[in-house]
Amino acid sequence: MMAMGDDASGSRHDPADAAVERDPRVATSAAADVDLNAPSLYLNREIELLKFQERVLEEAEDPANPLLERVKFLAIVSSNLAEFYMVRVAGLRQMIDACVTELSADGLTPREQLRLVRKHATDLLKRGRCVYQQLHAELAKEGIRLLAYDELDEEQRRIADEFFDQTVFPVLTPLAFDPGRPFPHISNLSLNLAVLLRGPDGEEHFARVKVPRRLPRLVDVSARQTEAGGRDVRRAREHAFVWLDQLIAAHLDELFPGMQIVEAHPFRVTRNAEMAIQELEADDLLLTIEEGLRRRRFGAVVRVTITPGTPDAIRDILLRNLEVDPEDVTVLDPPLGLSDLMALTELDRSDLKYPPFVPAIGEPLASADPGDYYALLREQDILLHRPFESFDPVVRLVQNAAFDPKVLAIKATLYRVGRNAPIVQALLDAAREGKEVTALVELKARFDEESNIEWARALEAEGAHVIYGLIGLKTHCKALLIVRKEGGRIRRYVHIGTGNYNTTTATQYTDLDLLTADESVAEDASQLFNKLTGYALTPAFDVFSVSPGGIRPYLERRIRREIEHARNGRPAHIVLKANALTDRQTIRLLYEASMAGVRVELIIRGICCLRPGVPGVSENITVRSIVGRFLEHTRIYYFANDGDPEVLIGSADLMSRSLERRVELVAPVLDPRLKNRLKEVLDLYLADNVKARVLHADGTYHRVVPGEGQPAVDAQTELLKQAGALLQKK
């Protein structure tokens, strides 16, 4: 892999250089007698990811959250755990099969980790079933009933049977298993019924019925009443559903006429979803990824989920034909696949959801037309904090640029844009208008490959320059460049984000958008795109830091500068907000900073492998995780720098993959006004005593609660209030 910078930092001039060079001691450990590589100083990556899912599940348990929001959190945990098996458990299995003996940072072999992970994940899944039972009862009290087929009343059963006959039966395909008909392929995450039948001769047979994914898992059997005019409507605020797999099980005799249905039991299969792509051997990466998507359906099975009543005979058939070990079987109370509960969040029950909000557009954007944004950006940088502030100004800027006769070119990196992508549509319009459009579409964005392939083909069809990424790397940075001819000169306008160009997640994730016309930023943006599209092997960046090769030393220099400040008796303070902290080298350096007396405050949403509060090592480090209404996704890096603070934002987390195996971008916020605003945001998150959990030295998280006489502070709620104030001003 090529380094992205012209030196270790990727910058021509790094203001942290001089401070570090004055005292070479800052490059050494503050305490030579402490082994900062000791496994006891690190938490296990896989277990920490599961602990994050625990924190999400706590939100499903929390009665302070609206009921349907709790249902959503439970569905999210179920979906996330499925992905955990598809990716993380599958990865451990592959390491074991390949006889990998390398230990994790906390000193465990892959086999030891797999044993721990299986137990922790199973316990979490069972806890989720207990939460489901709680929610099931509370939903019923609110008129939302999830019923078994034998619980349906006469009218509900009539509706269910009619739906089965008209919609479900024509779609079903019963698959027998005998010497003439091999065991059917079970697709990833599919829900199935394992059916034991008995023929007229008394011989037992096995068959599989797949529950169709295209049909609603929760079948609405709500009783109707007739309005004037003969229109049927649901009774107000009453909803009744039956699970589709139970409905099918109740009608198996129609699928196997003449056979006796002995018993039927649901089961679910989870497969390895990782794609092994030999990029260097690929003639066409797009076609190679497409083939990988086809192969993903046939990945090795990593988990089979069954229910407690499943007999040994069916279990043995599944284990033998799916080629899995007994340890790969998870036994859970039904219903399986709780992620399908997400459908309930679509119900028109605003009384059971968070209060609606309208993302704000503050001044000066609120009173300006998109065509005026250029003049505004020449005067000042603009920072948006989604979802509290609207992502629309970014979309409008690109949409305007598509038809602006002064705009010559638009360049963008696209990672996860979703199916409905106004930004990509604007790029298509720009290409049709004859502008030079360049899009780096990352085809290797896991689980978004199919959508990205479609957008790449659409852009190519309109004549845009489409690049699929760099060999061996994922391009994860979020950058957009608009080149405009104004009078006799060329001006460039840049967007740098912490999140994707995705209008759906823009209302669900917290992210930052920086819009600027600063010349140094614009020059670096041009250098970045030249690197991504051509053979600019050693681009020189003035303000950007780009990985691989640039972000790690860039951040390390700033940490070491804070260490020097502390050693010289000056105040030293670091605040890092990211989604994950797993990189061992970064953790070691933060331990050094703590031992030197630097105050280190970490806001890490998900995985944190650093162990805070260890005497003599990390006493000056605190770690908190915020789990609330919105998924925390902002990356903000703050360095106090003896009263001249530096604040950075970007796409990179503190993970080895982000620093070494991805194209990531971190950029400084140069406007003092915006730097102060971001410090206020960090201070608000550090004051949160409602949705924050604090990590302790033993690896446990404890929820923060307000002290006696202390006001409750919910950072996300406060940011919503601030956004509401912007709307009122408008």
Predicted pLDDT at 235: 53
Predicted pLDDT at 32: 59
Whether 301 and 328 have beta carbons less than 8 Å apart is answered as yes
How far is residue 329's CA from residue 316's CA, in Å, rounded to a whole number? 11
Q: Which amino acid is at 138?
A: E
User: Comparing C-alpha atoms, which of 406, 463, 470 is closest to residue 441?
Assistant: 470
Q: Which amino acid is at 622?
A: T
Domain boundaries, the chain: 30-41+546-729, 126-222+235-352, 370-543
Annotation marks residue 633 as catalytic: no
Mean pLDDT calculated for residue range 260-268? 96
Q: What is the pLDDT of residues 276-304, one digit of tens each?
A: 544 444 445 566 555 655 555 667 899 99
Predicted pLDDT at 13: 61
Using CA of residue 341, residue 343, residue 346, residue 348, what is the dihedral sign? negative
Whether 711 and 505 have beta carbons less than 8 Å apart is answered as no
Predicted pLDDT at 231: 47
Q: Please check the confidence at residue 225 and state whether its pLDDT lies above 60.
A: no
Say how many residues make up the chain.
730
Predicted pLDDT at 22: 46
How far is residue 446's CA from residue 87's CA, in Å, rounded to a whole number? 10
Give the residue carrying structure tokens 């402490």. Answer: 34
Mean pLDDT calculated for residue range 235-256? 91
Mean pLDDT calculated for residue range 375-387? 96
> What are residue 535's DSSP bridge partners?
none
The tokens describing 395, both together, are 């979309």
The tokens describing 478, both together, are 């979020």
Q: Are strands 232-234 and 144-147 parallel, antiparallel or unpaired?
A: unpaired
Q: How many CA atoms lie within 13 A of 597 on its CB side?
A: 10
Instruction: Specify the range with the lowest mean pLDDT, choosing from 19-33, 248-262, 409-423, 491-505.
Output: 19-33
How far is residue 409's CA from residue 427's CA, in Å, rounded to a whole number? 10
Backbone φ, ψ for residue 495 (5° rounding): -115, 130
Fold of domain 370-543: Endonuclease; Chain A (3.30.870)
Predicted pLDDT at 722: 92
Fold of domain 30-41+546-729: Endonuclease; Chain A (3.30.870)
Whether 715 and 709 have beta carbons less than 8 Å apart is answered as no
Contacts for 285 with CB less than 8 Å, ≥ 6 apart: 277, 279, 443, 468, 469
Q: Which amino acid is at 381?
A: D
Q: What is the pLDDT of residues 564-586, one digit of tens each?
A: 999 999 999 999 999 999 999 99
Do 30-41+546-729 and 126-222+235-352 fold alike per CATH?
no
Predicted pLDDT at 691: 97
Q: What is the pLDDT of residues 497-514, one digit of tens each?
A: 999 999 999 999 999 999
How far is residue 341's CA from residue 71's CA, in Å, rounded to a whole number? 7
Q: Higher pLDDT residue, 288 or 684?
A: 684
Q: Is 482 helix (H, G, I), strand (E, B) or coil?
A: strand
Listed in sequence order, the DSSP H helices in 420-508 are 422-432, 449-461
pTM of the predicted protein model: 0.91
Of the pLDDT bands very low, low, confident and very high (cuts 50, 70, 90), residue 472 is confident
Mean pLDDT calculated for residue range 358-384? 93
Whether 193 and 201 have beta carbons less than 8 Å apart is answered as no
Secondary structure letter of residue 368 according to DSSP: S
Burial (CB < 10 A; 0-12, 13-18, 19+), residue 333, is middle
Q: What is the pLDDT of residues 174-207, one digit of tens each?
A: 998 876 678 888 988 999 999 999 999 889 899 9
Q: Is 509 helix (H, G, I), strand (E, B) or coil?
A: strand
Mean pLDDT calculated for residue range 663-675? 96
Q: How many CA atoms lie within 13 A of 550 on its CB side?
A: 29
Q: Please check the confidence at residue 539 and state whether its pLDDT lies above 80.
A: no
Q: Higher pLDDT residue, 433 or 534?
A: 433
Q: Please check the confidence at residue 531 and state whether its pLDDT lies above 60.
A: yes
Q: Are strands 545-547 and 573-578 parallel, antiparallel or unpaired?
A: unpaired
User: Comparing C-alpha atoms, which of 31, 305, 359 is closest to residue 186?
Assistant: 305
How far is residue 283's CA from residue 454's CA, in Å, rounded to a whole number? 19
Of the pLDDT bands very low, low, confident and very high (cuts 50, 70, 90), residue 7 is very low
Of the pLDDT bands very low, low, confident and very high (cuts 50, 70, 90), residue 448 is low
Predicted pLDDT at 503: 93
Cα-atom radius of gyration of the chain, to the nearest Å?
Answer: 28
Q: What is the pLDDT of residues 547-569, one digit of tens each?
A: 999 999 999 999 999 999 999 99
Most confident by average pLDDT, 225-239, 408-422, 606-620, 696-710: 606-620
Mean residue pLDDT of the chain comes to 90
Predicted pLDDT at 239: 95
The tokens describing 204, both together, are 């037992």
Distance between terminal CA atoms of the chain? 50
CATH class assigned to 126-222+235-352 = alpha beta
Q: Higher pLDDT residue, 563 or 446?
A: 563
Q: What is the pLDDT of residues 609-656, one digit of tens each?
A: 999 999 999 999 999 999 999 999 999 999 999 999 999 999 999 999
CA distances 331 to 87, 280, 306, Å, are: 20, 42, 5
Q: Which residues of 133-160 are buried (b: 16+ CB within 10 A; e: fewer)?
A: eebbeebeebebbbbebeebeeebbebb
Give the residue carrying structure tokens 């400084």. Answer: 668
Of the pLDDT bands very low, low, confident and very high (cuts 50, 70, 90), residue 456 is confident
- Can you give the three-state secondary structure of 487-498, one letter per residue? CCEEEEEEEEEC
Of the pLDDT bands very low, low, confident and very high (cuts 50, 70, 90), residue 14 is confident
Q: Please check the confidence at residue 657 and state whether its pLDDT lies above 60.
A: yes
In percent, how much of the chain has pLDDT > 70? 89
The tokens describing 293, both together, are 């998507």
Q: Please check the confidence at residue 213 and state whether its pLDDT lies above 70.
A: yes
Q: Are strands 646-650 and 692-695 parallel, antiparallel or unpaired?
A: unpaired
Angle between helices 110-141 and 67-84 (to 10 degrees): 160
The tokens describing 297, both together, are 């359906």
Q: Which amino acid is at 372?
A: D
User: Comparing C-alpha atoms, which of 682, 690, 680, 679 is closest to residue 714?
Assistant: 690
Q: Please check the confidence at residue 11 and state whether its pLDDT lies above 60.
A: no
The tokens describing 622, both together, are 């605190």
Q: Please check the confidence at residue 324 and state whether its pLDDT lies above 70.
A: yes
Predicted pLDDT at 37: 94
How far is residue 394's CA from residue 396's CA, in Å, rounded to a whole number? 5
Output helix, strand, coil percentages for the chain, rounded to the nearest 5: 40, 20, 35
Burial (CB < 10 A; 0-12, 13-18, 19+), residue 503, is middle
How far is residue 490's CA from residue 488's CA, in Å, rounded to a whole number? 7
Q: Please check the confidence at residue 91 and state whether its pLDDT lies above 60.
A: yes
Exactly one of 265, 385, 476, 633 is catalytic; name it. Answer: 476
User: Comparing C-alpha atoms, which of 191, 201, 204 is closest to residue 317?
Assistant: 204
How far is residue 33's CA from residue 380's CA, in Å, rounded to a whole number? 50
CA distances 542 to 525, 526, 644, Å, are: 10, 12, 19
Mean pLDDT calculated for residue range 32-41? 89
Of the pLDDT bands very low, low, confident and very high (cuts 50, 70, 90), residue 261 is very high
Whether 625 and 605 have beta carbons less than 8 Å apart is answered as yes
Using CA of residue 630, residue 634, residue 638, residue 644, what is the dihedral sign? negative
Mean pLDDT calculated for residue range 686-711? 95
Predicted pLDDT at 557: 97
